[in-house]
């Protein structure tokens, strides 16, 4: 079973994807890390983020299971990732590895922006996770504070809105719900409530899958 989870920044995609993967015993790929790691490689090499050739070379060199998450999670890297993610050649470079991951025997859970639309249009279950920008900013500000980055709510909100706008308006693989994705608004849900709702959506998709076996 392939489970595709998409949605805007800090909507709770990763949290749900990890919990669904654990529940179904599936491997999980946080595809945002691919773009974050590509951006990190450019910054480490003192390259501008719009250097397409250097970005493609960095993307080619990534190993999907070896991310230094500590250096990829902060505020600066979310912004930098969305800049390199808008370069079509970078996306093209990363497509095949993501598809290979998804098509493992038994399936996988992937979360990102274009999983249901571009990477795995054939996914068995697709969920587009949303929450109000204010709620997402509140959650992300808390997360950043816990990791030692003290950023104000207003700064985080501005970051999120700018990134959503860039991700939604790029020419290739913009942030968009697949026509057959189920929408899950987590604004009024805690993590347990969001997981219960996501699980119900996946179980329903699984039942449809078995009905057509």
Ligand X SMILES: Nc1ccn([C@@H]2O[C@H](COP(=O)(O)OP(=O)(O)O)[C@@H](O)[C@H]2O)c(=O)n1
List residues forming the annotated binding site for ATP. 7-15
198 binds ligand ADP (CB under 6 A): no
Mark residues 177-196: x for contact with ligand ADP by CB under 6 A, - for none. Answer: ---------x--xxx--x--
What is the number of the residue whose Cβ is closest to ligand X?
32
Beta bridge partners of 28: 109
31 binds ligand X (CB under 6 A): yes
Q: Which is nearer to ligand X, 84 or 201 (CB)?
A: 84
Tell me the backbone φ, ψ of residue 172, rounded to 5 degrees. Answer: -105, 130
In the chain, what are the helix, strand and coil shares in percent, each to the nearest 5? 55, 10, 35
- Residues 47, 39: contact at Cβ < 8 Å? no
From ligand ADP, ligand X, none, which one binds at residue 190 (CB under 5 to 8 Å depending on kind)?
A: ligand ADP
32 binds ligand X (CB under 6 A): yes
Beta strands across the sheet bearing 108-112: 28-30, 108-112, 2-6, 125-130, 182-185
Q: Is the dihedral of CA 154, 33, 70, 44 positive or negative?
A: negative
Other beta carbons less than 10 A from residue 25's beta carbon: 8
**Which residues contact ligand ADP (rule: CB under 6 A)?**
7, 9-15, 139-140, 143, 186, 189-191, 194
**Which residues contact ligand X (rule: CB under 6 A)?**
9-10, 14, 31-32, 35-36, 78, 81-82, 85, 112-114, 163, 167
């Amino acid at each position: 079973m392939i489970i595709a989870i998409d949605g805007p920044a800090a909507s709770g995609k990763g949290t749900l994807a990890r919990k669904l993967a654990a529940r179904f015993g599936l491997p999980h790929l946080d595809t945002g890390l691919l773009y974050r790691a590509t951006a990190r490689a450019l910054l480490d090499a003192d390259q501008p983020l719009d250097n397409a050739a250097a970005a493609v070379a960095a993307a080619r060199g990534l190993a999907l299971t070896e991310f230094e998450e500590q250096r990829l999670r902060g505020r600066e890297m979310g912004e930098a990732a969305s800049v390199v993610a808008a370069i079509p050649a970078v996306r093209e470079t990363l497509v095949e590895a993501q598809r290979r991951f998804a098509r493992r025997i038994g399936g996988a859970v992937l979360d990102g922006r274009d999983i249901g639309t571009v990477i795995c249009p054939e996914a068995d279950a697709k969920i587009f996770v949303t929450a109000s920008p204010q709620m997402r900013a509140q959650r992300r500000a808390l997360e950043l504070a816990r990791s030692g980055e003290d950023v104000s709510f207003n700064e985080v909100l501005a970051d999120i809105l700018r990134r959503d706008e860039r991700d939604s308006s790029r020419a290739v693989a913009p942030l968009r719900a697949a026509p057959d994705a189920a929408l899950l608004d987590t604004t009024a849900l805690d993590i347990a409530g969001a997981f219960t709702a996501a699980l119900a959506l996946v179980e329903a998709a699984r039942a449809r899958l078995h009905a057509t076996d």
